[in-house]
Structure formats: structure tokens, C-alpha cells
Amino acid sequence: MKRQTLRVLLASEYPEARYFLKELVEDEAGVVVVGQAENAGKALTLAQNLRPDIAIIDCYLPYRTGPALMALSRLAGLDTAQVISREIPNTRVMLLPNLDEKVPSEPGLSSEGIAFFSRKTNGSALPFTLREIYRETLTPGTVVFAHVETKEQHVLRQKIANLSDKAILFGGLGIVGGLCLMLTVILAGAGVFLTLTGGVLALLGLVGHGLAHSGRKTPALKNREQESQADQLKIPSAARLGNQSR
């Protein structure tokens, strides 16, 4: 089955930015740029006439490129994107807030192979293709907020992410090791405490034993005590006998 060709409209004030975007867009198989606009008015007219599948719009789009003396607003990117997405529901609209930072300053420098579109979710940039955006079901009025990323930047971000993963891993290992060490120290401390307590108790036992020994009566003393008890018992019985004879 033949794949449908995606028709794209580009809108940016600067020719070098449009050139950069055209290279980037047509780098994807089956995607063709059908129109280019340098201001919001032209972008709206082209969108209404051409009905593109995707419109890619620079955030800093002027309403109209007028005489240099007239101070015109260059903030029409989101407004244009909102109008197109609301009025031409079949067109997917992508807004690029960072295009001004990504277009190479050297004229004629191609974006081919060095740049791609991405969406930022939870701090990480997820690359996507225009066909993926086209397949998404979007409600009318929805604008896709995307970024242009360059490969070096992506590689750098990946490296940072990998480094942070490693840092998390080693940090975790460090924490576990620290906890183990703490546990060992605590147990060692408990062991020392128990040993000391045992020693003190043994010492007390020895002292007690010693005292018990010193307080124990000898057999000779026992005999003497028994004899004196017997004498005490004998004296009252003799006195009783004497009273009876009287």
C-alpha cells in the first residue's frame, strides 16, 4: 500500500529559518513542504487555501512584515497556531518556541542529519517524526508544543542523563554501604557493651562468691555452736528436776 505524502506548511519570518526547517522536514520520507509564509497573515491565507496536513510555526512570527520604521509585533506565532488549529481541524499545528536559538548562523548550513523535533516530558526530550504527530488524534484547537533539538545537544543530554543515572546508582550503593557500616558499628558497640556488662557481672559474681566464702562457718565452729545450744537446753531441765525434788 502506498504511503500518503504529508503536506507541510512552514511559517517563520526569516528565510534561513525556513530553509533550515524545510531541510529538516523533508529529511523524513514522504514529507513535502507545500507552502512557506513569512508572516501570520500569509500563514493563515496559505493554510486556508492549501489545507496542509501539518503547519509548523515559529513562535516569533510577525503579523506582517511591514516597513522597517513601523514597530510591529513579532509575537503572532501562538495566535496563528490557535486560529489554524481551530478553523482547519484536519491540520495538525506545531509551534516552535526555540527556533530562533537553533537556526545555524552560517548561511546555507543544512539541518539534515543534525537536527530533529522533540517534545519535552518530565525533563527529557522525546524525539518524534511528523508522521507520528499526524497519526495522533487531536481535538480541534490543540497546538503541539515542540522543540528543535540538535544532535550534539541530544548526545550531551543523554550523557548528562547517563551520568545522573550512574550518580544515582553509586549514590544508592554508597547509602547502602554507609547503612551497613553503621549497622556494623552499632552491633560492634552492642558487642562491646555486652562484653563489658558480662565482665562487670562476672566481677560482681566473683566478689559475691568471695563474700559468701568469707561468711561460711567452719566445721569446728559448727560443733562449738551445737554444743553451746545443747548446754542451753540442759540447764533448764536440771533446774526443773531440782524443783521437783524439793
Partner 1 sequence: MKVTQALKECTVFASMSEEELEKVASSVLEKQYEPGATILQEGDSAEEFLVLQEGKAVVQITLPEMPGEMSRRVTVDIVSRNEVVGWSALVEPYLYTFSVVGLQKVTVLSISGTKLRWLIRDNLKIGYEVMCGLIKVIASRLDETRRVLISERLIMPKTE
- The residues binding partner 1 (CB under 8 A) are 40-41, 44-45, 48, 59-60, 62-64, 66, 70-73, 75-79, 82-83, 86-87, 95, 97-98, 119-120, 123, 143, 145, 147
CA distances (Å), origin 220, targets 95, 215, 224, 225: 114, 15, 6, 9
Q: Between residues 81 and 115, which has the closer beta carbon with respect to partner 1?
A: 81
Grid coordinates of 147? 522543540
- CB of residue 187 to partner 1, shortest distance in Å: 41
Q: Which is nearer to partner 1, 14 or 63 (CB)?
A: 63
The separation between the first and the last C-alpha atoms of the chain, rounded to the nearest angstrom, is 150
Strands, E, within the chain: which ranges?
Answer: 6-11, 31-37, 54-58, 92-96, 115-121, 124-128, 143-145, 147-150
CB of 145 to partner 1, least distance (A): 3
Nearer to partner 1, 42 or 131 (CB): 42
- When the beta carbons of 10 and 62 are compared against partner 1, the nearer one is 62
The least distance separating partner 1 from the CB of residue 44, rounded to whole angstroms, comes to 6
- Minimum distance of partner 1 from residue 1's CB (angstroms): 34
| Alpha-helical regions (H) of 69-113 | 77-87, 99-102
Q: Between residues 19 and 96, which has the closer beta carbon with respect to partner 1?
A: 96
Q: In terms of C-beta density within 10 A (0-12 exposed, 13-18 middle, 19 or more buried), how is residue 58 classed? A: buried
Shortest Å distance, C-beta 121 to partner 1: 8
Q: Within 10 Å of residue 70's Cβ, how many Cβ atoms?
A: 7
Chain center to CA of 108: 40
CA distance 94 to 74: 17
